[in-house]
Amino acid sequence: MTDKLIIFDTTLRDGEQSPGASMTRDEKLRIARQLERLKVDVIEAGFAASSNGDFECVKAIAESIKDSTICSLARANDRDISRAAEALKPANSGRLHLFLATSALHMEKKLRMTPDQVFEQARLSVRFARNLMADIEFSPEDGYRSDPDFLCRVIEAVINEGATTINVPDTVGYAIPELYGNFIKNLRERIPNSDKAVWSVHCHNDLGMAVANSLAGVKIGGARQVECTINGLGERAGNCSLEEVVMAVKTRKDYFGLELGIDTQQILAASRLVSQTTGFVVQPNKAVVGANAFAHASGIHQDGVLKARDTYEIMRAEDVGWSANKIVLGKLSGRNAFKQRLQELGVAMESETDINNAFIKFKDLADRKSEIFDEDILALVSDESVTHSNEQYGFVSLSQHSETGERPQACVVFTVAGKEVKGQSDGNGPVDASLKAIETHVKSGAEMVLYSVNAISGSTESQGEVTVRLQNSGRVVNGVGSDPDIVVASAKAYLSALNKLQSKADRVAAQG
Ligand code: KIV
Ligand code: ZN
């Protein structure tokens, strides 16, 4: 019998709760497909009852993903649970994840319920859910700050009602590794039916200890499921990072002695996709997926690595999906070579038309940039115009003039519902002038809350990747655009954000 650690990814639910990280249905589907390639055991696809948009996302993911279990969050009430079960109907394997706060603070101030009322609601909600689905997870929200005696009562009761996974959230990131590990150990020892459920950890990163706490929950507490997100995305300081926890368990198998189902070579593609979709840039020194994670700058280190890699490397870059930053394709590369490289990078395009569109963009880029790196290809395929030729706004061309001492001018040609229009404006700089030129037609009234530029492959020859975050009527969306010309990348990012703003989809972020 192998001792397996279940990886439960909540990028699309808890990750999305991060302000500004809300994603469209298509973006969530693309990420879910990458999570399936990564072979995560459970994908928490959303919070079906929180909005029609979330319901549709969970349902679409349940229809399309076949290898991972698909989960929906639900408050512990019949309406939420029924709605989640409905969205999960098409799933090969579905899970209902019920939560109800159990800490004195949350019960009194947030729920305004007595502990006895919470106990009854937890019990009855699991009973109700169990009639709809076999796989039931229960989370006592703010579990780590709850009274252990009360928690024991609630958990014993929900396991009796048929909960199959018990998750102990450190909702506010207050835990310390040793204390959190022992907290779970204690619960498991005291609750008579604790062996009837899989125990799970769910840690937030407010004190920077989400990964350490999760690992302690596994090692000391005996948990066999970790809830985590790609790049540690999540509210406030984020959640436990999937790539760090997975690589810790894999690299230190001597210590943890646990099996994982994850295909670690898909980690980098997942990290890139989530970062490009949300506009949350990965810091260069981030473990496992940061640009410098495997770079050896000092002479002594370089010398050591050249003589024997394990002098300074504890994991192989290839094992998490890094290929040497080599020139992969050029101007003369054909469609087959391009398609093969997409497959090697784990990028699945839905149709031949999508591949053709991406190939045209690749050729266009190769005409302007002699060296094309993996990073360029990943940025290119994450550009929505490749897969969404029917968007409201589409970039066509841009010209701008800037000179020291003169106010920059820009002229942008773009399509509105397929018809070409031209906008002209001046501005503080060429980017400002270009975005104002677009606004002369669109008049969105949106407020820009973030603008950032990132050099994709780290030199002045590289493409610029621009993220624009817009806010309008309480909705926040991100647009990402890439191009060797950062003014063009900015215009593309702006149009992409406008497309999302005007899309009809209801994208009210789930509130857990
Ligand atoms: O942090 C938390 O408590 C949660 C629960 C809903 C599991 O996200
Ligand atoms: Zn959480």
How far apart are alpha carbons 34 and 283 in whole angstroms? 21
How far apart are alpha carbons 471 and 475 in whole angstroms? 5
pLDDT band at 328 (very low <50, low <70, confident <90, very high): low
pLDDT band at 508 (very low <50, low <70, confident <90, very high): very low
Q: Taking the alpha carbons of 34, 38, 39, 40 in that order, is the dihedral positive or negative?
A: negative
How far apart are alpha carbons 203 and 211 in whole angstroms? 7
pLDDT in the model for residue 505? 41
pLDDT at 202 over 80: yes
Number of residues assigned to the chain: 512
Mean per-residue pLDDT, 91-110: 98
Mean per-residue pLDDT, 134-153: 98
- Tally of CA atoms within 13 A in the half-sphere of 383 that contains its CB: 35
* 90-99, 448-457, 481-490: range with lowest mean pLDDT: 448-457
Q: What is the pLDDT of residues 35-54, one digit of tens each?
A: 999 999 999 999 999 999 99
Ligand 1 atom with the smallest distance to the CA of 17 is 8
* Closest CA relative to residue 224, chosen from 192, 189, 254, 249: 249
**202 ligand 1 Cβ < 6 A:** yes
pLDDT in the model for residue 440? 97
> Cα 259 vs. chain centroid, distance in angstroms?
23
**13 ligand 1 Cβ < 6 A:** no
pLDDT in the model for residue 504? 41
For residue 166, the cross-strand partners are 138, 199
Contact residues for 348 (Cβ-Cβ < 8 A; gap 6+): 33, 37
Residue 426 CA to ligand 2 center (angstroms) comes to: 45
pLDDT in the model for residue 297? 62
**171 ligand 1 Cβ < 6 A:** yes
**141 ligand 1 Cβ < 6 A:** yes
pLDDT at 99 over 60: yes
Q: Is 346 in contact with 266 (CB distance < 8 Å)?
A: yes
Q: What is the pLDDT of residues 220-274, one digit of tens each?
A: 999 999 999 999 999 999 999 999 999 999 999 999 999 999 999 999 999 989 9
Between 336 and 261, the higher pLDDT residue? 261
Mean per-residue pLDDT, 304-331: 78
- Exposure string over 239-276, b if 16+ CB within 10 A, otherwise e: bbbbbbbbbbbbbeeeebebebebebbbbbbbbbbbbb
**139 ligand 1 Cβ < 6 A:** yes
Ligand 1 atom with the smallest distance to the CA of 167 is 7
The predicted model scores a pTM of 0.85
Choose one of 42, 141, 170, 229 to mutate for the ligand 1 pocket test, by most ligand atoms within 8 angstroms of C-beta: 141
Choose one of 73, 225, 239 to mutate for the ligand 1 pocket test, by most ligand atoms within 8 angstroms of C-beta: 73
For residue 239 the two structure tokens come to: 């959640």
Q: What is the pLDDT of residues 447-475, one digit of tens each?
A: 999 898 888 776 777 888 899 999 988 78
pLDDT at 326 over 80: no
pLDDT at 512 over 50: no
Residue 234 CA to ligand 1 center (angstroms) comes to: 11
Ligand 1 atom with the smallest distance to the CA of 143 is 3
**169 ligand 1 Cβ < 6 A:** yes
Q: What is the pLDDT of residues 389-411, one digit of tens each?
A: 578 999 999 999 999 999 999 99
**272 ligand 1 Cβ < 6 A:** no
| Count of CB atoms situated within 10 Å of the CB of 226 | 26
How far apart are alpha carbons 233 and 239 in whole angstroms? 6
For the structural domain made of 3-278, what CATH number should be given?
A: 3.20.20.70
* Mean pLDDT across the chain: 91
pLDDT band at 83 (very low <50, low <70, confident <90, very high): very high
**427 ligand 1 Cβ < 6 A:** no
**512 ligand 1 Cβ < 6 A:** yes
pLDDT band at 511 (very low <50, low <70, confident <90, very high): very low
Residue 231 CA to ligand 2 center (angstroms) comes to: 15
Between 155 and 293, the higher pLDDT residue? 155
Choose one of 8, 14, 228 to mutate for the ligand 1 pocket test, by most ligand atoms within 8 angstroms of C-beta: 14
For ligand 1, atom 5, name the residue with the nearest CA: 141
pLDDT in the model for residue 387? 53
**47 ligand 1 Cβ < 6 A:** no
How far apart are alpha carbons 195 and 182 in whole angstroms? 17
pLDDT at 366 over 80: yes
Strand 475-483 and strand 447-455: the pairing is unpaired
Mean per-residue pLDDT, 367-378: 77
- Domain locations along the chain: 3-278, 327-382, 388-502
For residue 395, the cross-strand partners are 414
In degrees, rounded to 5, the angle at the alpha carbon of residue 264 between the alpha carbons of residues 327 and 320 is 35
For the structural domain made of 388-502, what CATH number should be given?
A: 3.30.160.270
- pLDDT above 90 covers what percent of the chain? 69
Nearest ligand atom owner, CA of 234: 2
